[in-house]
Amino acid sequence: MLKNLLIKTAFVVLLLMVPLKAEDGYRLWLRYDKISDEETANRYKQFLKGYFIEYDSPTIAIIKNELQTALNGLLGKNISRTDNPEKNNIIIIGSPDRSPVVSSLISNNELINCGNEGYIIKTISTEGKERILITGKSDVALLYGVFNLLRLMQTHSSIENLYISSMPKIKIRVLNHWDNLDRTVERGYAGFSLWDWHKLPDYIDSRYFDYARANASIGINGTVLTNVNANALVLTPVYLEKVKALADIFRPYGIKVYLTARFSAPIEIGELDTADPLNNDVKTWWANKAKEIYGYIPDFGGFLVKANSEGQPGPQNYNRTHADGANMLADAVKPHGGIVMWRAFVYSADDKEDRAKQAYNEFKPFDGKFRENVLIQVKNGPIDFQPREPFHPLFGAMPQTPLMMEYQITQEYLGQGTSLAYLSTLFKEVLESDTHAKGEGSTVAKIIDGTLDRLELTGIAGVSNIGTDRNWTGHTFGQANWYAFGRLAWNHEINSDQIADEWLRMTFTDNKDFVDQIKELMMNSRETVVNYMTPLGLHHIMGWHHHYGPAPWIKDKHRDDWTSVYYHRADEKGIGFDRTQTGSDAVSQYFSPVARKFSSLEQCPEEYLLWFHHVDWDYVTKSGRTLWDELCYRYYEGAESAGQMRTTWNSQQGRIDDERFNRVKMLLNIQYKEAIWWRNACVLYFQTFSKKAIPDDFEKPDKTLEYYMNLEFPYAP
């Protein structure tokens, strides 16, 4: 009996030693753990003794639950709803149109510039009482405002004497899920699709609510549920019932549902013998299909379309234009308030001109010819989500057409699911690029937010990195890219340092040493990846098809622009793609000041050097090193920096939970190995052209080029 008692006692002790809730990353940046700093916690408790909300709605119910969960968690005490709006130190939440109390505290004129989603957070001081007011024109605006206040608390910021007026700079802020109906995810590295189509609409996974909540917390207001390589079945009634179930969940969070439209759907599910956009039967079919969809989902957002690209059907199959195709679909959804997002990612195997020029050549002639509810969705660069690209020349070239930015949050070309690459710096680099479309200061940001050309319809999209992995994004730091996209979609003027700081404090800890050191790691991480993968403007030299690992030797495929040699063009003289007037003349697609800068070997920023120029191996770079030595230096510096990332992270042990610490530690070990692999494979390969020695102060690769060229990864994701 004593033996059994000892065993039971030991078991209880072990249970007490194990945390009841593992830090597996599921809670993202919305952890709401108790504030450990007593001074900060007491300061908040002084100002937050309850909250007042005068009316109810599905969104208000979400707000109440969020406030209750967050305030009780952060402050470790019950902060509950009050029926007394005169009470001191409370939060008052509501729209002046629906709340008499709120209308007595703020006028509609003060909200005039906030739009339907913007909000104001302000401290109200009357008769010695201080209250915090969160107000906006819609319930969703209130939800955004509540998340802002909670973000201030999570980051231990002051909530005294507040006046915050915030509205989104871009209207349509969507995630593009490249999810297939079989639950596989194209370019997904975090498990399978969240959408369990087989069990929908009757089985509702709780993750759907948590997904909507996370997106609402960063201002994302739309989700495209299906892959741009579309399946027409999603437009059939059996699937529309499933889509409706998701739309009903997302609606109170301010999130609209969009679907990808397969252009050949009238043939595949409509029993027509054509999908010609000028055919009256086709027009009628799409109009009826749109009416059917809106019958299921009254606030359906509209269609995203990939057409005549990479084998997808489109209007060019019928000798029609992109404008013909987009306008036909736009007419179908317009009566219901829908939009069409028509992707500009087009390139043809039959067009032997520089692939970087094709989207501009196909879309520029149709500026002003698209319906008013069409956005042209343009990737950030002219090739394909490379670690670094110059901004797409279409930005600024179509002043009469809304251009919608498309970023890739998932890291198809940036190390995939095993690499830490903080992409806010990439996003900002493109947004801040000056197109000179209307003189100096004509940034890409001003084009996509509509201010440069005074366009009302604006949008930005991010290709999702979310999957069924418990922590949502596979790599814990993949969450930072999801978070950064949402924050910049709402306000592109926020800097990457601030976003990283917020995310680290909300996701891990407020420990200053941890935040400062890991923020610096994050801010340098994307440049590290560029250096050990594609320095000095190299691009698209990744593995064949799966894009995993280095493969600059890829050639002799069925289309030239799916090979690596097409892009780097290394020979005994030098390396790089000549896109000046002596080459493909892609520079001419940019406005004159930009074209002149990129065309000049001396003025071209070195980060784009080999993107625009074929450069001699002995060319002297800005560092004073020859091009060959500089290329080696960048590869070696990148790998060394990847090693330093690992060292920096390892020094943080004990400052955060063991589970997430160890997961990131293992992935950084993988990243360092892959950085060495990239460095060795690329330097050895390019050495076969330069015929020059690797500089003496660099360690030499321990394997042969043949070893790296013979590596195969048939099951790479």
Question: DSSP assignment of 704-715, as one string?
Answer: -HHHHHT---TT
In contact, 177 and 197? CB cutoff 8 Å? no
Active-site residue identified among 23, 389, 412, 434? 412
Give me the pLDDT at residue 158, please.
Answer: 95
Domain identity same for 625 and 487: no
Confidence of residue 127 (pLDDT cuts 50, 70, 90): confident
d(CA 384, CA 540): 8
Does this model's pTM top 0.85? yes
Domain identity same for 462 and 337: yes
Query: What's the sign of the alpha-carbon dihedral 76, 77, 78, 83?
Result: negative
Where in the sequence is the domain holding 227, given as residue range(s)?
172-507
Give me the pLDDT at residue 107, please.
Answer: 86
Number of domains in the chain: 3
Give me the pLDDT at residue 21, please.
Answer: 53
d(CA 51, CA 60): 12
pLDDT digits (tens, 9 = 90+) for 397-424: 999 999 999 999 999 999 999 999 999 9
Question: In the chain, what percentage of residues exceed pLDDT 90?
Answer: 94
The residue-averaged pLDDT of 24-31 equals 98
Domain identity same for 150 and 263: no
How does DSSP classify residue 542?
B
Confidence of residue 527 (pLDDT cuts 50, 70, 90): very high
Domain identity same for 558 and 430: no
Domain identity same for 192 and 114: no
Helices 280-296 and 237-250: angle between axes, nearest 10 degrees: 50
* 68 φ, ψ (degrees, to nearest 5): -60, -45
Please check the confidence at residue 235 and state whether its pLDDT lies above 60.
Answer: yes
Active-site residue identified among 86, 273, 310, 618? 310
How many angstroms separate the most distant Cα atoms in the chain? Answer: 91
pLDDT digits (tens, 9 = 90+) for 159-208: 999 999 999 999 999 999 999 999 999 999 999 999 999 999 999 999 99
**Would you call 384 a catalytic residue per the annotation?**
yes
Confidence of residue 22 (pLDDT cuts 50, 70, 90): confident
In contact, 551 and 544? CB cutoff 8 Å? yes
Domain identity same for 501 and 570: no
Give me the pLDDT at residue 1, please.
Answer: 45
Domain assignment present for 582: no
pLDDT digits (tens, 9 = 90+) for 375-397: 999 999 999 999 999 999 999 99
CATH number of the domain residue 700 falls in: 3.90.1330.10
**Would you call 706 a catalytic residue per the annotation?**
no
Number of H helices, E strands in the chain: 22, 15
Please check the confidence at residue 300 and state whether its pLDDT lies above 70.
Answer: yes
Domain identity same for 341 and 365: yes
Task: Please name every residue paired with 616 in a beta bridge, in sequence order, or none if there are none.
Answer: 574
Please check the confidence at residue 695 and state whether its pLDDT lies above 90.
Answer: yes
The residue-averaged pLDDT of 143-155 equals 98
Active-site residue identified among 117, 139, 179, 384? 384
Give me the pLDDT at residue 77, please.
Answer: 86
d(CA 641, CA 648): 10
> Closest Cα to residue 87, out of 36, 142, 124?
124
CATH number of the domain residue 158 falls in: 3.30.379.10
* Omega of the bond leading into 201 within 30 degrees of 0 (cis): yes
Q: How many CB atoms lie within 10 A of CB 142?
A: 26
Give me the pLDDT at residue 286, please.
Answer: 98
d(CA 579, CA 585): 5
CATH number of the domain residue 259 falls in: 3.20.20.80
pLDDT digits (tens, 9 = 90+) for 679-688: 999 999 999 9
Give me the pLDDT at residue 10, please.
Answer: 40
Confidence of residue 8 (pLDDT cuts 50, 70, 90): very low
Give me the pLDDT at residue 3, please.
Answer: 45
Helix, strand or coil for residue 171?
Answer: coil
**Would you call 310 a catalytic residue per the annotation?**
yes
In contact, 442 and 452? CB cutoff 8 Å? yes
Domain identity same for 157 and 182: no
Domain assignment present for 230: yes
Please check the confidence at residue 115 and state whether its pLDDT lies above 60.
Answer: yes
pLDDT digits (tens, 9 = 90+) for 333-354: 999 999 999 999 999 878 788 9
